[in-house]
Amino acid sequence: MDFSSCQSRRHQDFIVHTQNQPSKNRIERPLTFRPVTASLLLMSVQLFRFGVLCIALVIASGLRAAPATPDKGVAVVPNEASNRVEVLVDGQPFTSYIWPDTLKKPVLFPLRTASGTIVTRGYPLEPRPGERTDHPHHVGLWLNYENVNGVDFWNNSTALPAEQQAKMGTVVHRRIVKTSSGADQGELEVAMDWMMPDGQPILHETADFIFRAGPGRRVVDRISTLTALDKSVVFKDAKDGMLGLRVRRELEQPSTEAVTFTDASGRPTTVKAMNNTGVSGLYRSSEGKTGDAVWGTRGRWTMLTGKVNQEAVTLIMLDHPQNAGFPTYWHARGYGLFAANPLGQAIFSSGKEKLNFTIQPRKSAAFRYRLVILNDPATPDQAEAQYRQFVDEVK
Protein backbone atom coordinates (compact mmCIF):
# COMPACT_ATOMS: atom_id res chain seq x y z
CA MET A 1 0.00 0.00 0.00
CA ASP A 2 1.44 3.40 -0.97
CA PHE A 3 1.37 6.50 1.17
CA SER A 4 -1.53 8.27 -0.67
CA SER A 5 -3.89 5.29 -0.25
CA CYS A 6 -2.98 5.07 3.41
CA GLN A 7 -3.80 8.76 3.80
CA SER A 8 -7.22 8.30 2.11
CA ARG A 9 -8.08 5.30 4.30
CA ARG A 10 -7.30 7.19 7.50
CA HIS A 11 -9.38 10.14 6.29
CA GLN A 12 -12.44 7.90 5.77
CA ASP A 13 -12.07 6.21 9.15
CA PHE A 14 -12.00 9.57 10.84
CA ILE A 15 -15.25 10.72 9.21
CA VAL A 16 -17.10 7.54 10.21
CA HIS A 17 -15.86 7.82 13.76
CA THR A 18 -16.95 11.44 14.18
CA GLN A 19 -20.34 10.79 12.65
CA ASN A 20 -21.05 8.28 15.41
CA GLN A 21 -20.29 10.76 18.17
CA PRO A 22 -23.34 12.71 19.54
CA SER A 23 -22.90 16.42 19.68
CA LYS A 24 -25.48 19.15 19.68
CA ASN A 25 -23.42 21.76 17.96
CA ARG A 26 -21.26 19.48 15.93
CA ILE A 27 -20.16 20.78 12.60
CA GLU A 28 -19.07 17.96 10.47
CA ARG A 29 -16.18 18.67 8.14
CA PRO A 30 -13.59 16.42 6.68
CA LEU A 31 -10.20 16.40 8.35
CA THR A 32 -7.43 17.63 6.09
CA PHE A 33 -4.37 15.45 6.60
CA ARG A 34 -1.19 17.02 5.22
CA PRO A 35 1.57 14.59 4.25
CA VAL A 36 4.39 16.47 6.04
CA THR A 37 5.92 13.57 7.89
CA ALA A 38 7.56 11.99 4.83
CA SER A 39 8.73 15.38 3.51
CA LEU A 40 10.41 16.22 6.79
CA LEU A 41 12.03 12.81 6.92
CA LEU A 42 13.37 13.17 3.37
CA MET A 43 14.66 16.68 4.11
CA SER A 44 16.44 15.47 7.26
CA VAL A 45 18.17 12.69 5.40
CA GLN A 46 19.33 15.10 2.70
CA LEU A 47 20.63 17.61 5.25
CA PHE A 48 22.49 14.83 7.08
CA ARG A 49 24.14 13.65 3.88
CA PHE A 50 25.09 17.21 2.96
CA GLY A 51 26.67 17.74 6.38
CA VAL A 52 28.71 14.56 6.16
CA LEU A 53 29.92 15.57 2.70
CA CYS A 54 30.97 19.03 3.93
CA ILE A 55 32.90 17.54 6.85
CA ALA A 56 34.67 15.09 4.54
CA LEU A 57 35.65 17.87 2.15
CA VAL A 58 37.05 20.00 4.96
CA ILE A 59 39.09 17.09 6.30
CA ALA A 60 40.40 16.19 2.84
CA SER A 61 41.28 19.80 2.12
CA GLY A 62 43.16 20.07 5.38
CA LEU A 63 45.13 16.92 4.65
CA ARG A 64 46.14 18.18 1.23
CA ALA A 65 47.22 21.55 2.59
CA ALA A 66 49.36 20.18 5.44
CA PRO A 67 50.39 16.55 4.99
CA ALA A 68 51.44 14.86 8.19
CA THR A 69 55.05 13.73 8.64
CA PRO A 70 54.94 10.15 9.96
CA ASP A 71 57.29 9.09 12.73
CA LYS A 72 57.62 5.64 11.18
CA GLY A 73 58.66 4.55 7.72
CA VAL A 74 60.11 6.53 4.83
CA ALA A 75 58.51 9.96 4.40
CA VAL A 76 59.02 12.18 1.34
CA VAL A 77 57.99 15.72 2.29
CA PRO A 78 58.03 18.54 -0.31
CA ASN A 79 58.90 22.09 0.75
CA GLU A 80 58.83 23.93 -2.57
CA ALA A 81 59.01 27.34 -0.89
CA SER A 82 62.53 26.38 0.23
CA ASN A 83 63.48 24.62 -3.02
CA ARG A 84 63.78 21.23 -1.37
CA VAL A 85 62.13 17.90 -0.64
CA GLU A 86 62.98 16.28 2.68
CA VAL A 87 63.41 12.51 2.97
CA LEU A 88 62.97 11.15 6.49
CA VAL A 89 63.28 7.66 7.97
CA ASP A 90 61.35 7.13 11.19
CA GLY A 91 61.18 10.90 11.56
CA GLN A 92 64.95 11.39 11.21
CA PRO A 93 66.63 13.05 8.19
CA PHE A 94 68.14 10.79 5.54
CA THR A 95 68.68 13.20 2.64
CA SER A 96 67.14 16.14 0.78
CA TYR A 97 66.53 16.77 -2.90
CA ILE A 98 67.49 20.44 -3.37
CA TRP A 99 67.67 22.94 -6.21
CA PRO A 100 69.04 26.22 -4.78
CA ASP A 101 70.03 29.13 -7.00
CA THR A 102 73.66 28.59 -5.94
CA LEU A 103 73.87 25.25 -7.80
CA LYS A 104 73.81 24.50 -11.52
CA LYS A 105 71.88 21.24 -11.11
CA PRO A 106 69.56 19.61 -8.54
CA VAL A 107 71.32 17.27 -6.09
CA LEU A 108 70.71 14.99 -3.13
CA PHE A 109 72.47 16.61 -0.18
CA PRO A 110 73.53 15.60 2.38
CA LEU A 111 73.36 11.80 2.55
CA ARG A 112 73.43 9.92 5.85
CA THR A 113 73.93 6.42 7.19
CA ALA A 114 71.19 4.66 9.17
CA SER A 115 72.81 6.02 12.36
CA GLY A 116 72.68 9.57 11.02
CA THR A 117 76.33 10.04 10.08
CA ILE A 118 76.80 12.29 7.04
CA VAL A 119 78.85 10.64 4.26
CA THR A 120 78.99 13.56 1.78
CA ARG A 121 81.39 16.50 1.72
CA GLY A 122 79.94 19.71 3.15
CA TYR A 123 81.70 22.24 0.86
CA PRO A 124 80.50 24.48 -0.73
CA LEU A 125 77.02 24.47 0.87
CA GLU A 126 77.89 23.53 4.46
CA PRO A 127 81.70 23.68 4.82
CA ARG A 128 83.29 21.69 7.65
CA PRO A 129 86.75 22.23 9.18
CA GLY A 130 89.54 20.18 7.63
CA GLU A 131 87.79 19.18 4.40
CA ARG A 132 88.90 19.86 0.84
CA THR A 133 87.65 22.91 -1.06
CA ASP A 134 88.48 21.88 -4.63
CA HIS A 135 85.91 21.27 -7.42
CA PRO A 136 82.98 23.37 -6.10
CA HIS A 137 80.65 21.65 -8.59
CA HIS A 138 81.03 18.37 -6.65
CA VAL A 139 77.99 18.53 -4.35
CA GLY A 140 76.19 15.55 -2.81
CA LEU A 141 74.87 13.03 -5.36
CA TRP A 142 74.09 14.29 -8.87
CA LEU A 143 73.84 13.32 -12.56
CA ASN A 144 75.10 15.29 -15.58
CA TYR A 145 77.86 15.18 -18.20
CA GLU A 146 80.88 17.07 -19.49
CA ASN A 147 80.15 17.17 -23.24
CA VAL A 148 76.55 17.40 -24.47
CA ASN A 149 76.51 18.66 -28.07
CA GLY A 150 79.80 20.33 -27.22
CA VAL A 151 78.58 22.01 -24.01
CA ASP A 152 79.97 21.25 -20.53
CA PHE A 153 77.29 20.61 -17.89
CA TRP A 154 79.51 18.81 -15.36
CA ASN A 155 81.99 21.57 -14.43
CA ASN A 156 79.56 24.49 -14.20
CA SER A 157 79.32 26.32 -10.86
CA THR A 158 78.77 29.79 -9.48
CA ALA A 159 82.44 29.80 -8.46
CA LEU A 160 83.44 30.28 -12.11
CA PRO A 161 83.74 33.75 -13.68
CA ALA A 162 80.46 34.88 -15.22
CA GLU A 163 81.87 34.75 -18.75
CA GLN A 164 82.74 31.05 -18.28
CA GLN A 165 79.37 30.20 -16.76
CA ALA A 166 77.71 31.76 -19.79
CA LYS A 167 79.30 29.11 -22.02
CA MET A 168 78.19 26.14 -19.94
CA GLY A 169 75.04 24.07 -19.49
CA THR A 170 72.65 24.03 -16.55
CA VAL A 171 70.18 21.39 -15.38
CA VAL A 172 67.05 23.19 -14.18
CA HIS A 173 64.43 21.71 -11.83
CA ARG A 174 60.94 22.25 -13.32
CA ARG A 175 58.43 20.56 -11.06
CA ILE A 176 57.66 17.78 -8.63
CA VAL A 177 55.65 15.19 -10.53
CA LYS A 178 54.71 13.00 -7.57
CA THR A 179 55.74 11.88 -4.10
CA SER A 180 54.82 8.89 -1.98
CA SER A 181 55.73 7.63 1.47
CA GLY A 182 55.59 4.13 2.93
CA ALA A 183 56.71 1.72 5.61
CA ASP A 184 59.86 0.57 3.78
CA GLN A 185 60.30 3.01 0.90
CA GLY A 186 59.36 6.41 -0.47
CA GLU A 187 59.40 7.84 -3.96
CA LEU A 188 60.05 11.20 -5.57
CA GLU A 189 59.56 11.88 -9.26
CA VAL A 190 60.72 15.21 -10.69
CA ALA A 191 60.98 16.90 -14.09
CA MET A 192 64.11 18.77 -15.20
CA ASP A 193 65.43 20.44 -18.34
CA TRP A 194 69.02 20.47 -19.55
CA MET A 195 69.51 24.06 -20.72
CA MET A 196 72.09 25.20 -23.27
CA PRO A 197 73.97 28.51 -22.93
CA ASP A 198 71.43 30.23 -25.22
CA GLY A 199 68.66 29.43 -22.71
CA GLN A 200 67.05 26.72 -24.85
CA PRO A 201 66.45 23.18 -23.55
CA ILE A 202 68.20 20.33 -25.32
CA LEU A 203 67.04 17.46 -23.10
CA HIS A 204 64.08 16.82 -20.85
CA GLU A 205 64.75 14.58 -17.87
CA THR A 206 62.32 12.68 -15.71
CA ALA A 207 64.14 11.47 -12.60
CA ASP A 208 62.54 8.86 -10.38
CA PHE A 209 64.17 8.55 -6.94
CA ILE A 210 63.31 5.58 -4.75
CA PHE A 211 64.45 5.74 -1.13
CA ARG A 212 64.64 2.50 0.86
CA ALA A 213 65.49 1.87 4.48
CA GLY A 214 66.28 -1.08 6.71
CA PRO A 215 68.40 -1.85 9.77
CA GLY A 216 71.89 -0.49 9.13
CA ARG A 217 71.04 0.17 5.46
CA ARG A 218 69.95 3.12 3.35
CA VAL A 219 69.40 2.98 -0.42
CA VAL A 220 68.87 5.53 -3.18
CA ASP A 221 67.78 4.45 -6.65
CA ARG A 222 67.93 7.03 -9.43
CA ILE A 223 66.24 6.18 -12.71
CA SER A 224 66.76 9.09 -15.09
CA THR A 225 65.01 9.10 -18.45
CA LEU A 226 66.58 11.59 -20.86
CA THR A 227 64.50 12.69 -23.86
CA ALA A 228 65.98 14.61 -26.79
CA LEU A 229 63.81 17.47 -28.03
CA ASP A 230 63.97 18.68 -31.64
CA LYS A 231 67.56 17.71 -32.43
CA SER A 232 69.96 14.81 -31.91
CA VAL A 233 71.89 14.93 -28.65
CA VAL A 234 75.45 13.58 -28.69
CA PHE A 235 77.28 12.72 -25.47
CA LYS A 236 80.80 12.87 -26.82
CA ASP A 237 83.22 10.56 -25.02
CA ALA A 238 84.57 12.59 -22.07
CA LYS A 239 86.15 12.02 -18.69
CA ASP A 240 83.65 13.78 -16.41
CA GLY A 241 80.29 12.11 -15.94
CA MET A 242 77.76 10.77 -15.22
CA LEU A 243 76.50 9.78 -11.76
CA GLY A 244 78.69 11.58 -9.23
CA LEU A 245 79.10 11.48 -5.46
CA ARG A 246 81.54 13.61 -3.43
CA VAL A 247 82.36 11.99 -0.09
CA ARG A 248 83.54 13.51 3.15
CA ARG A 249 87.23 13.75 4.09
CA GLU A 250 87.34 10.60 6.27
CA LEU A 251 86.16 8.43 3.35
CA GLU A 252 88.82 9.68 0.94
CA GLN A 253 91.83 7.46 0.28
CA PRO A 254 94.99 8.55 2.13
CA SER A 255 97.28 10.58 -0.14
CA THR A 256 100.65 12.27 0.38
CA GLU A 257 100.93 14.13 -2.93
CA ALA A 258 99.34 17.19 -4.48
CA VAL A 259 97.70 16.36 -7.81
CA THR A 260 96.51 18.66 -10.62
CA PHE A 261 93.56 17.69 -12.82
CA THR A 262 92.49 19.43 -16.04
CA ASP A 263 88.96 19.46 -17.48
CA ALA A 264 87.97 19.40 -21.15
CA SER A 265 88.27 23.20 -21.40
CA GLY A 266 91.82 23.17 -20.08
CA ARG A 267 90.99 24.54 -16.62
CA PRO A 268 93.45 23.07 -14.08
CA THR A 269 92.43 22.16 -10.54
CA THR A 270 95.07 21.27 -7.95
CA VAL A 271 94.12 18.89 -5.14
CA LYS A 272 96.50 19.58 -2.30
CA ALA A 273 98.21 17.04 -0.07
CA MET A 274 96.65 17.05 3.39
CA ASN A 275 97.07 15.50 6.81
CA ASN A 276 95.76 11.92 6.58
CA THR A 277 94.75 11.55 10.22
CA GLY A 278 91.39 9.78 10.30
CA VAL A 279 91.35 9.24 6.51
CA SER A 280 90.60 5.59 5.79
CA GLY A 281 88.78 5.14 2.45
CA LEU A 282 89.51 2.28 0.05
CA TYR A 283 87.88 1.52 -3.31
CA ARG A 284 87.23 -2.04 -4.48
CA SER A 285 85.52 -2.99 -7.77
CA SER A 286 83.57 -6.02 -8.90
CA GLU A 287 86.59 -6.98 -11.03
CA GLY A 288 88.95 -7.15 -8.04
CA LYS A 289 90.66 -3.79 -8.56
CA THR A 290 91.49 -1.83 -5.40
CA GLY A 291 92.53 1.69 -4.47
CA ASP A 292 93.65 4.03 -7.25
CA ALA A 293 93.72 1.08 -9.68
CA VAL A 294 89.89 1.23 -9.87
CA TRP A 295 89.97 4.51 -11.81
CA GLY A 296 89.46 4.07 -15.55
CA THR A 297 88.42 0.41 -15.33
CA ARG A 298 85.08 -1.27 -15.94
CA GLY A 299 82.90 -2.98 -13.37
CA ARG A 300 79.27 -3.64 -12.54
CA TRP A 301 79.82 -2.17 -9.07
CA THR A 302 82.42 -0.41 -6.96
CA MET A 303 82.39 0.01 -3.20
CA LEU A 304 84.15 2.49 -0.95
CA THR A 305 84.82 1.43 2.63
CA GLY A 306 86.14 3.45 5.55
CA LYS A 307 85.43 4.78 9.01
CA VAL A 308 83.93 8.04 10.26
CA ASN A 309 84.66 8.61 13.95
CA GLN A 310 85.19 4.84 14.37
CA GLU A 311 81.88 4.06 12.67
CA ALA A 312 82.32 1.60 9.79
CA VAL A 313 80.79 2.88 6.55
CA THR A 314 80.41 1.20 3.15
CA LEU A 315 79.16 2.97 0.03
CA ILE A 316 78.31 0.71 -2.95
CA MET A 317 77.52 2.25 -6.33
CA LEU A 318 75.77 -0.14 -8.72
CA ASP A 319 75.48 -0.03 -12.51
CA HIS A 320 72.57 -1.73 -14.33
CA PRO A 321 72.87 -4.12 -17.29
CA GLN A 322 70.27 -2.14 -19.26
CA ASN A 323 72.34 1.07 -19.11
CA ALA A 324 74.27 2.27 -22.13
CA GLY A 325 77.96 1.44 -21.83
CA PHE A 326 77.44 -1.35 -19.27
CA PRO A 327 79.56 -2.27 -17.40
CA THR A 328 80.46 1.32 -16.64
CA TYR A 329 83.91 2.81 -16.40
CA TRP A 330 84.69 4.13 -12.91
CA HIS A 331 85.76 7.73 -12.45
CA ALA A 332 86.75 7.07 -8.82
CA ARG A 333 89.37 9.45 -7.45
CA GLY A 334 91.21 9.08 -4.17
CA TYR A 335 90.42 12.69 -3.20
CA GLY A 336 86.72 11.84 -2.80
CA LEU A 337 85.04 11.91 -6.21
CA PHE A 338 83.15 8.62 -6.63
CA ALA A 339 81.55 8.52 -10.09
CA ALA A 340 80.24 6.08 -12.69
CA ASN A 341 80.84 7.18 -16.29
CA PRO A 342 79.54 4.72 -18.92
CA LEU A 343 79.95 7.21 -21.79
CA GLY A 344 83.64 8.18 -21.62
CA GLN A 345 84.98 5.12 -23.37
CA ALA A 346 87.53 6.81 -25.66
CA ILE A 347 89.11 8.51 -22.64
CA PHE A 348 89.30 5.53 -20.32
CA SER A 349 90.42 3.09 -23.03
CA SER A 350 93.09 5.47 -24.38
CA GLY A 351 91.30 5.61 -27.71
CA LYS A 352 90.80 1.87 -28.18
CA GLU A 353 87.04 2.25 -27.83
CA LYS A 354 84.61 4.96 -28.93
CA LEU A 355 80.93 5.40 -28.10
CA ASN A 356 79.74 9.01 -28.64
CA PHE A 357 76.36 7.97 -27.29
CA THR A 358 73.51 9.64 -29.21
CA ILE A 359 69.80 10.17 -28.50
CA GLN A 360 67.81 10.87 -31.64
CA PRO A 361 65.15 13.64 -31.75
CA ARG A 362 62.06 12.78 -29.67
CA LYS A 363 63.69 9.55 -28.47
CA SER A 364 64.62 8.62 -24.91
CA ALA A 365 67.32 6.76 -23.00
CA ALA A 366 67.09 5.60 -19.39
CA PHE A 367 69.96 5.35 -16.90
CA ARG A 368 69.44 3.27 -13.74
CA TYR A 369 71.74 3.49 -10.72
CA ARG A 370 71.67 2.49 -7.07
CA LEU A 371 73.69 3.78 -4.12
CA VAL A 372 73.74 1.56 -1.03
CA ILE A 373 74.92 3.02 2.31
CA LEU A 374 75.80 0.44 4.98
CA ASN A 375 76.79 0.83 8.62
CA ASP A 376 79.20 -2.11 8.37
CA PRO A 377 82.21 -3.13 6.32
CA ALA A 378 81.14 -5.24 3.34
CA THR A 379 82.83 -8.09 1.52
CA PRO A 380 82.89 -8.44 -2.27
CA ASP A 381 80.32 -11.25 -1.97
CA GLN A 382 77.99 -8.95 -0.05
CA ALA A 383 78.44 -6.22 -2.65
CA GLU A 384 77.64 -8.73 -5.38
CA ALA A 385 74.47 -9.74 -3.50
CA GLN A 386 73.45 -6.06 -3.40
CA TYR A 387 73.99 -5.88 -7.16
CA ARG A 388 71.84 -8.97 -7.80
CA GLN A 389 69.09 -7.54 -5.65
CA PHE A 390 69.21 -4.26 -7.59
CA VAL A 391 68.90 -6.05 -10.94
CA ASP A 392 65.97 -8.08 -9.63
CA GLU A 393 64.12 -5.05 -8.22
CA VAL A 394 64.70 -2.50 -11.00
CA LYS A 395 63.94 -3.43 -14.62
Domain parsing of the chain, residue ranges: 3-65, 78-393
Percentage of residues in the chain having pLDDT higher than 70: 81
Percentage of residues in the chain having pLDDT higher than 90: 76
Q: Across the chain, what does the average pLDDT equal? A: 87
Q: Kindly report, residue by residue over 37-81, the tens digit of the pLDDT.
A: 545 445 554 555 655 454 444 444 444 434 445 688 999 999 999
Given this model, what pLDDT does residue 381 score? 98
Split at pLDDT 50, 70, 90, the class of 11 is: very low
Given this model, what pLDDT does residue 14 score? 36
Could you tell me if 223 and 366 are in contact, meaning their C-beta atoms sit under 8 angstroms apart?
yes
pLDDT-wise least confident of 67-76, 102-111, 150-159, 278-287: 67-76
Could you tell me if 369 and 319 are in contact, meaning their C-beta atoms sit under 8 angstroms apart?
yes
State the Cα–Cα distance between residues 21 and 19, nearest whole angstrom. Answer: 6
Query: At residue 83, does pLDDT exceed 90?
Result: yes
Query: At residue 269, does pLDDT exceed 90?
Result: no
Given this model, what pLDDT does residue 270 score? 83
The CATH number of 78-393 is 2.70.98
- Of residues 121 and 9, the one with the higher pLDDT is 121
Mean pLDDT of 327-356: 97
Q: Kindly report, residue by residue over 171-224, the tens digit of the pLDDT.
A: 999 999 999 999 999 999 999 999 999 999 999 999 999 999 999 999 999 999
